[in-house]
Amino acid sequence: MLIVMDKSATEAEIAGVVAKIEKLGFTAQPMPGGSRVAIGILRNPGPVDPALFVDLPGVQEAIPVSRPYKLVSREMQREDTVIDLGRGLRIGGGNFVVIAGPCAVESETQALTIARAVQAAGAKIFRGGAFKPRTSPYSYQGLEEEGLKILATVRAETGLPVITEAIDHHSLDLVEEYADLIQIGARNMQNFSLLRRAGQARKPVLLKRGLSATLEEFFMAAEYILSEGNSRVILCERGVRGIGSHARNTLDLAAIPYVKRESHLPIVADPSHAAGRRLLVAPLARGAVAVGADGLMIEVHHDPAHALSDGPQSLYPDQFAALMQDLATLRPGQWS
Ligand code: PEP
Ligand code: MN
């Protein structure tokens, strides 16, 4: 249920509605809007009778919310969420952002070389994994805290905000300290305790869709983060398990317009992990932009043949620059 207050509702009337919700044993989530306040009712085990609220002073209407992912859904918030990433950088609501960098941070020289190249081509956020969730325990696992320190150096040298993945509670504490955005990877999309911890974080979260997650499961995962109070969530479509071996995963392009209809949260596409092969990355990136993605996350490496992780899907810097040129013609207008 969403209680929409009158434009002229007073603070006391809003507090009265909140008190009524809490008296019923539910949680009230006031959401200040452009011209009026709405109050969401959370943690109610079943439908709530609108009659309990419509006659309270200051209430305009009580709208039932049918989606189980209440906070994520457009039923609760009609307007797009716009996330302010600082320094004039915004994502969502028409603001388009490209995140680029290597799969993993390997050294300061590697990270800085790539950061300077992607920045020159127009990327606004630098990515690089310090904690790598690898399928094999024998694969490169990342530089851990040393990698985070390198990311902080990259930010200091270039001014680019940095995003990196947290794979568990310990790494999330560290990532929250060093990074500007926290990435929750596909393999952790249903790690519910990690999602709750991300919901308590002070930084925005980029949540990747699980390898075989339905969109409802994806929304419910985001709901975990929002329900803990962190409303700065960016969704990321990174491909789901497909058939055949032509691509590592299947980029679910249909998910992007569907997510945008169902949810107010921004959604970016990661064509690199979907493609698994350099040759497919740029066409998939263009496709994602054409269907309305709010941004892209792309793996780039200056020496992919020697990359410690995901070299085959990493674009060379000049390929990334060419893609950015294409995107500018595909999507003229509001670039962050
Ligand atoms: C990554 O972004 O490097 C990554 C591991 O992605 P995913 O969680 O989508 O596999
Ligand atoms: Mn990768």
Instruction: Write the pLDDT tens digit of every residue in 121-149.
Output: 999 999 999 999 999 999 999 999 999 99
Cβ atoms of 140 and 104 closer than 8 Å: yes
Compute, in angstroms, the gap from residue 208 CA to the centroid of ligand 1.
8
Contacts of residue 290, Cβ cutoff 8 Å, sequence gap at least 6: 330
Q: Which residue, judged by its Cα, is nearest atom 4 of ligand 1? A: 185
Contacts of residue 240, Cβ cutoff 8 Å, sequence gap at least 6: 209, 210, 211, 212, 213, 249, 250, 252
Best mutation site among 114, 165, 207 for ligand 1 pocket (most ligand atoms within 8 Å of CB): 165
Compute, in angstroms, the gap from residue 10 CA to the centroid of ligand 2.
50
Compute, in angstroms, the gap from residue 210 CA to the centroid of ligand 1.
10
pLDDT value, residue 336: 56
Q: Which amino acid is at 102?
A: P
pTM, to two decimals: 0.94
The finding on whether 209 has its CB within 6 A of some atom of ligand 1 is no
The finding on whether 129 has its CB within 6 A of some atom of ligand 1 is yes
pLDDT value, residue 286: 97
pLDDT single digits (tens) 7-25:
999 999 999 999 999 999 9
CB atoms within 10 A of CB 282: 19
- Nearest ligand to residue 133 Cα: 1
The finding on whether 197 has its CB within 6 A of some atom of ligand 1 is no
The finding on whether 260 has its CB within 6 A of some atom of ligand 1 is no
Q: Which residue, judged by its Cα, is nearest atom 6 of ligand 1? A: 185
What are the backbone angles phi and psi of residue 205, rounded to the nearest 5°?
A: -120, 135
What are the backbone angles phi and psi of residue 36, rounded to the nearest 5°?
A: -145, 160
Cβ atoms of 30 and 37 closer than 8 Å: yes
Cα angle: 300, vertex 306, 309; to 5 degrees? 60
- Nearest ligand to residue 189 Cα: 1
pLDDT value, residue 36: 87
Mean pLDDT taken over the chain: 96
Per-residue pLDDT at 207 exceeds 70: yes
What is d(CA 185, CA 191) in angstroms, rounded to the nearest whole number?
10
> Which helix H or strand E contains 158, and what residues bound it?
helix 145-158
Beta pairing class for 37-42 and 2-5: antiparallel
Residue identified by tokens 């107010």 is 264
Ligand 1 atom showing the smallest separation from residue 186 Cα: 8
pLDDT single digits (tens) 44-72:
988 899 999 999 999 999 999 889 999 99
pLDDT value, residue 35: 82
Q: Which residue, judged by its Cα, is nearest atom 3 of ligand 1? A: 103
- Of 31-35, 88-92, 160-164, minimum mean pLDDT range: 31-35
What is d(CA 80, CA 83) in angstroms, rounded to the nearest whole number?
10
Question: Which tokens belong to 43?
Answer: 């943690």
pLDDT single digits (tens) 259-318:
999 999 999 999 999 999 999 999 999 999 999 999 999 999 999 999 999 999 999 999
Per-residue pLDDT at 151 exceeds 90: yes
Compute, in angstroms, the gap from residue 268 CA to the centroid of ligand 2.
16
Best mutation site among 114, 208, 297 for ligand 1 pocket (most ligand atoms within 8 Å of CB): 208
What is d(CA 97, CA 135) in angstroms, rounded to the nearest whole number?
29
Cβ atoms of 242 and 264 closer than 8 Å: no
Q: Which residue, judged by its Cα, is nearest atom 10 of ligand 1? A: 186
